[in-house]
Amino acid sequence: MKVLEDTIAAIATAYGEAAIAVIRVSGKNAPGIAAQVLKGRKAPEYWESHRLYRAEVWDRNAGEKIDDVMAVMMREPGSYTGEDVVEIHCHGGLLVSQEVLRAVLRAGARMAEPGEFTKRAFLNGKQDLSQAEAVIDLIRARGDAARRLALRRMEGQLNQRVQALQDDLTGIIAAMEAWIDFPEEVEVDEDWKEGLQEIKKAGETLLDGARGGRAAREGIRVVIVGSPNVGKSSLWNALIGEERAIVTDIPGTTRDLIEEEVTVRGVPLRLVDTAGIRETVDLVERIGVDKAREMLRRGDLTIVVFDAAAGINREDLIVIDLVRGMELLVVINKTDLEQQVIDERQVLDYFSGEKIIWASVKEGRGIDEIKEAVLHKVLGGTGDENQWLISNARQEDALERAVAGLGEAQAALGEGLPLECALVDLRETLEALGEITGETVSEQVIERIFRDFCIGK
Ligand SMILES: Nc1nc2c(ncn2[C@@H]2O[C@H](COP(=O)(O)OP(=O)(O)OP(=O)(O)O)[C@@H](O)[C@H]2O)c(=O)[nH]1
Ligand SMILES: [Mg+2]
């Protein structure tokens, strides 16, 4: 364990005027600093751990009182960082909180770097790396699903799952090593293969869930496209639940991109309405069409809309050509109209294997189905939130390498190669798993992770 010598301090609350601000101090000298700056009826050195006390903050040099505060001492190891921590709850004025911080710094603390409190919690073994990463995810969560997931990881669910895999794998590695050392005394165990297969399956399940985790955290960008007048803006309005985009029966109504976020089952969907795609001489409209084409490339999913009463015309063919190969949802709109000229077989031909939804935005039919289909499309078979524990590219990459290593070990065993070959792969797998929890991760990676944090966390 790393010994962290100096005592750090920062304002832990947001910058600005507020009812209270919290100044956080952590490190060996935190109680000593508290004794210097805080005057209470009971001197801070005699404070009970985790109990709030009234006190005054004093600037000793100037002989001046700064504020009346509440303060708490949390003694090591039972604090967030695992060190002695003092938190001073002062009045939330900009100047007040900064004066209190200054007094603390003058008493011997050093200004904390971003994420340094959480980094200390990690280095002192209070949290593993996946838990520390979850802290920032929790702070940044924009939707309910992301918040729930971050909380679960903060509680250590990813850590536990990975540790279970590590334990099982370590057992198999130890048995293999024993066999190599004493081939006469230990039997070659067919269970190894089965054990490896189970570990691999569990790893793959976690990997599948990475998609869901990413969607929950970053949101899914859904771009609505189609030829003019098919009802894109009407659909967009229905999905966001507000009549915001202009809807008229004049083709070419929408000229610009409009983007809005809604949350479906806790997952943020960023919906983009676009200009109807067609060849046009109107300069403004043409810019809009170019923007629509550009946006198509940046979306995670495309909803392509057709008009059931108009059928598939020349302009629709341009659209069909444009969206080929993309992650798609097909919506046939205006199914309420009497005249239905669209040919279902033709649609199936163009979009074989794609999800096709028959809708009437006007009558509100198909809207919920579209929302569900968007989620299903993006999350694939991993609709189960409990499996969405992998939360960033770093973890995903490590897990991918772990699963690949298991595959290679299996292949080596299958081909009857010497056990040492499989062992090399398995040790690499173990190492990759350790990167997720932070046991085998480099100093640089740790630096990078915590640099993203806010000051005071
Ligand atoms: N009958 C019927 N009319 C609809 C339906 N959805 C939209 N419309 C009408 O179709 C016309 C065009 O709708 P918009 O939503 O503006 O179509 P758009 O695709 O955004 O059109 P552009 O922006 O011009 O590309 C409007 O008159 C809508 O009221 C529907 O489900 N049924
Ligand atoms: Mg429109």
pLDDT score, position 186: 59
pLDDT tens track for 4-41: 789 999 999 988 889 999 999 999 999 999 999 999 99
> Residue 100 to residues 22, 66, 93, 440: CA-CA distances in angstroms?
10, 7, 11, 39
Could you tell me the distance, in angstroms and rounded to a whole number, from the CA of residue 233 to the centre of ligand 2? 4
Domains and CATH numbers, the chain: 8-112 (3.30.1360.120), 134-213+389-451 (1.20.120.430), 221-379 (3.40.50.300)
- Best probe residue, ligand 1, of 224, 242, 247, 273 (max atoms within 8 Å of C-beta): 247
pLDDT bracket for residue 330 (50, 70, 90): very high
Q: Is the per-residue pLDDT at 1 higher than 60?
A: no
- Does pTM top 0.75 for this prediction? no
Q: Which helix (H) or strand (E) holds 171?
A: helix 157-181
pLDDT score, position 189: 63
pLDDT bracket for residue 442 (50, 70, 90): confident
Could you tell me the distance, in angstroms and rounded to a whole number, from the CA of residue 335 to the centre of ligand 2? 18
- Mean pLDDT confidence for 436-456: 85
pLDDT bracket for residue 434 (50, 70, 90): very high
Residue pair 134/118 in contact by the 8 Å Cβ criterion: no
Two tokens, residue 82: 């695992």
pLDDT score, position 455: 80
Could you tell me the distance, in angstroms and rounded to a whole number, from the CA of residue 263 to the centre of ligand 1? 24
Could you tell me the distance, in angstroms and rounded to a whole number, from the CA of residue 2 to the centre of ligand 1? 64
pLDDT score, position 2: 45
User: What's at 177, amino acid-wise?
Assistant: E
Ligand 1 atom with minimal separation from the 227 CA = 25
Strand-pairing partners, residue 57, are: 38, 67
In angstroms, the CA 377 to CA 329 distance is 8
Two tokens, residue 277: 């795609």
Q: Report the nearest-CA residue for atom 12 of ligand 1.
A: 229
Q: Is the per-residue pLDDT at 80 higher than 90?
A: yes
Q: Which helix (H) or strand (E) holds 303?
A: strand 301-307
pLDDT score, position 422: 93
Ligand 1 atom with minimal separation from the 237 CA = 15
Q: Report the nearest-CA residue for atom 10 of ligand 1.
A: 231
- Best probe residue, ligand 1, of 225, 227, 234, 313 (max atoms within 8 Å of C-beta): 234
Higher pLDDT, 399 or 141: 399
Q: Is the per-residue pLDDT at 176 higher than 80?
A: yes
> Residue 396 to residues 17, 82, 299: CA-CA distances in angstroms?
40, 29, 21
- Mean pLDDT confidence for 38-50: 94
